[in-house]
Structures are given as structure tokens and as C-alpha cells.
């Protein structure tokens, strides 16, 4: 791959051929429109996003399955991105810790320019192939590395994916470009073709929305497949404030059909761990037995319930 051609950030040239950079013929008079007309134009274009995301569901499901295998095998998932794309990756990874009580370091977000670039644009950081390669230096064989690049040609992402592949990781590219230049570096290429933005090149709009939906789907499906939920309830979340503590009580009431006082009591006995409380109430076991079952089943409430049922059946048979 010609790194120089991708890293060339001069105006014009190849950039004008990228679908996300083209001028939208439907909005050439945008600055003359009324406020409501501007918002209607945005809303009309936003309607394209769900269909574009639906088109990538087959490869996305394959990527999720690969990530499940990786995490269950003790490997990690990495996001690499710059600008809006990178910030979306950082946001997605950060929210997994409190929402699903995911261990720190399982899903890691790398953003071109580091923390300083999260709140302000830093010059040329996304144009460095070498910087992406450096940030991917700790990728291990069997990891899953997801590059996020609306344009499909961000050099930082290219450097990261090339290095990750060389180190034995599985690679993926989330993009909105019809023919992404970095596609050859990815085992899974997810193209959400959202077309030209209402403001030419402002990929924080439709492209950003599509990337956010894809990341939502990827990480949520990953957490569900890893057993971090029960039914459609968030049973692994960390209750760090009063709102979330009240939510854990409501979830336990919903799951068990029991009264509030009993659910509060079970949570207290379980040290606030909703998964432990669920298992205690479902299976009439002690918190210690519930924790042991969770430890034996990688933290999955459903698998732990089946484990406890099997243990109970074996005890009955033995007796």
C-alpha cells in the first residue's frame, strides 16, 4: 500500500473523490434557508442512516462473533480513530465499564493525538501513519482491532491496522466511503454508505451517526454474547449514584416479580451486586454460592443459573 498517497492531506486530489467529501446537490442553497428548512434538510438526510447501517449487519455480526472468541480467550478489542471517528470510539469504550461492569482494558480506545485531541483539533495528528503504528505496538496476536474512519483513508488508522495485522490480530474497518483505501488492511470491512453531507465534508453528521450506531451494535451485541445481560435487562451495571441504585432495585423487581423491600434486602445481602441478587432469588442459594457459580461461568447469569440447576440435580440424584 502506498502510504504517501494516503497521507497526502493537500486540498483537492484524491479527497474530492471520496463520497463523504462530495458536495450535496440537494443543499447548495443551505445558507439561504430558514431555520426550520435547515433542520428539515438535516432530518431528511439523517433518514438515510438506518438503511446504510442495516446493510453492514452481516459483516458486523461476523465481527462480533470474532470479538466474542477473542475476549473469551483472554484477548482484547482495540478501537483506532481520529477526529469525530476517534471520539466515538473513546465514548463507546468508556461507557462499557459502568454499563456492563466490564473489566478495564478489555475494550481499549486509541485516539490520534491522545487525550489532548479529544477536546480540540491538533494539527496533523491524523495524517501520521507512524503514529497509528506506534499506538498499535501493544496489540497482541488474537486481539481484534477496529479502525474507524469515515473517509476510509485516514493514515493514523491505516498505520494501526497494518501493524495490528502484522502482529497477528484480526482487523476491521468501519467507514462511510464507498471504496475505502484502507479496505485491504481489514478482514471485516463495514461500509455504511451515507453519501454526501448537507455540509460538504462535515462527517460528524450522517457519517458520525452511522458510525455511532455501528459501534452501539458491535459493543452491545458483544456484551450480550458475553453474558453481561439477563433477558433484556442490564444486570451487570455498576450503581455509582442514587439513580442507578434505584434502577438496580427496579430491574430486580422486574426480573423476579417480587416486592421492593425483598429486592432491596437481597441486594444488600449481595453487596449491591445485581447478578448475585438475581441468582439468590432465582435459585434460593447463598450469595457465596451465587458468586461461585458466576466465577464458573464467566459472569453470565443465565449460564450460572443453569450451572446451579445442574448442581442441584446432581445433589438430588446423589442423595
Q: pLDDT (tens digit, 0 to 9) for every residue of the chain, 319 residues total?
A: 666 555 454 444 455 578 888 999 999 999 999 999 999 999 999 999 999 999 999 999 999 999 999 999 999 999 999 999 999 999 999 999 999 999 999 999 999 999 888 888 776 789 999 999 999 999 999 999 999 999 999 999 999 999 999 999 999 999 999 999 999 999 999 999 999 999 999 999 999 999 999 999 999 999 999 999 999 999 998 888 999 999 999 999 999 999 999 999 999 999 999 999 999 999 999 999 999 999 999 889 999 999 998 876 565 444 4
Cα separation, 239 vs 48, whole angstroms? 36
Compute how many other C-beta atoms are within 10 angstroms of the C-beta atom of residue 216: 14
> Which secondary structure element, helix H or strand E, spans residue 123, and what is its range?
none
**Residue 123: its pLDDT value, please?**
65
21, 40, 69, 95: which is the annotated catalytic residue?
A: 95
Q: Which residue has the cell 477526529?
A: 83
Cα separation, 143 vs 161, whole angstroms? 12
Compute how many other C-beta atoms are within 10 angstroms of the C-beta atom of residue 30: 15
Query: In angstroms, how far is CA 164 from the centroid of its own chain?
Result: 18
List, in sequence order, the alpha helices (H) in 153-300: 155-166, 206-225, 242-256, 260-269, 274-283, 287-296
Is 130 noted as a catalytic residue in this protein?
Answer: no
Cα separation, 243 vs 246, whole angstroms? 5
- At residue 265's C-alpha, the angle toward residues 263 and 270, to 5°, is 95
**Residue 2: its pLDDT value, please?**
60
**Residue 196: its pLDDT value, please?**
94
**Secondary structure of residue 122 in the 3-state scheme:** coil
pTM: 0.90
21, 45, 126, 162: which is the annotated catalytic residue?
A: 126
Q: What is the 3-state secondary structure (H, E, C) of 132-156?
A: HHHHCCCCCCCCEEEEECCCCCCHH
Is 126 noted as a catalytic residue in this protein?
Answer: yes
Distances (CA, A) of 75 to 70, 81, 108, 194, 268: 5, 20, 11, 32, 34
**Residue 184: its pLDDT value, please?**
97
Q: Are strands 170-175 and 107-111 parallel, antiparallel or unpaired?
A: unpaired
**Residue 120: its pLDDT value, please?**
80
Amino acid at each position: 500500500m502506498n502510504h504517501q498517497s494516503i497521507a497526502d492531506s493537500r486540498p483537492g486530489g484524491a479527497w474530492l473523490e471520496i463520497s463523504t467529501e462530495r458536495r450535496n446537490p440537494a443543499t447548495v442553497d443551505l445558507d439561504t434557508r430558514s431555520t426550520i428548512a435547515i433542520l428539515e434538510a438535516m432530518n431528511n438526510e439523517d433518514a438515510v442512516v438506518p438503511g446504510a447501517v442495516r446493510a453492514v449487519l452481516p459483516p458486523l455480526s461476523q465481527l462480533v462473533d470474532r470479538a466474542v472468541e477473542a475476549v473469551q480467550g483472554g484477548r482484547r478489542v482495540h478501537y483506532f480513530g481520529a477526529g469525530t471517528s476517534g471520539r466515538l470510539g473513546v465514548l463507546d469504550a468508556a461507557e462499557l465499564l459502568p454499563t456492563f461492569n466490564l473489566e478495564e482494558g478489555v475494550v481499549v480506545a486509541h485516539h490520534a493525538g491522545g487525550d489532548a485531541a479529544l477536546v480540540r483539533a491538533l494539527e496533523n495528528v491524523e495524517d501520521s501513519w507512524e503514529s497509528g503504528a506506534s499506538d498499535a505496538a501493544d496489540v497482541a496476536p488474537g486481539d481484534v482491532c477496529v479502525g474507524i474512519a469515515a473517509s476510509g483513508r485516514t493514515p493514523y488508522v491505516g498505520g494501526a491496522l497494518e501493524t495490528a495485522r502484522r502482529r497477528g490480530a484480526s482487523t476491521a474497518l468501519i467507514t462511510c466511503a464507498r471504496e475505502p483505501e484502507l479496505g485491504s488492511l481489514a478482514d471485516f470491512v463495514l461500509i455504511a454508505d451515507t453519501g454526501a453531507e448537507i455540509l460538504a465534508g462535515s462527517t460528524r453528521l450522517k457519517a458520525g451517526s452511522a458510525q455511532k450506531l455501528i459501534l452501539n451494535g458491535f459493543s452491545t451485541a458483544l456484551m450480550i454474547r458475553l453474558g453481561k445481560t439477563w433477558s433484556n435487562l442490564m444486570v451487570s451495571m455498576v450503581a455509582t449514584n442514587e439513580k442507578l441504585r434505584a434502577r438496580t432495585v427496579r430491574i430486580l423487581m422486574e426480573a423476579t416479580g417480587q416486592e421492593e423491600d425483598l429486592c432491596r434486602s437481597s441486594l444488600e445481602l449481595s453487596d449491591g451486586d445485581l447478578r448475585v441478587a438475581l441468582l439468590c432469588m432465582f435459585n434460593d442459594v447463598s450469595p457465596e454460592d451465587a458468586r461461585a457459580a458466576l466465577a464458573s461461568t464467566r459472569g453470565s447469569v443465565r449460564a450460572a443459573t443453569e450451572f446451579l440447576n445442574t448442581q442441584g440435580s446432581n445433589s438430588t440424584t446423589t442423595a
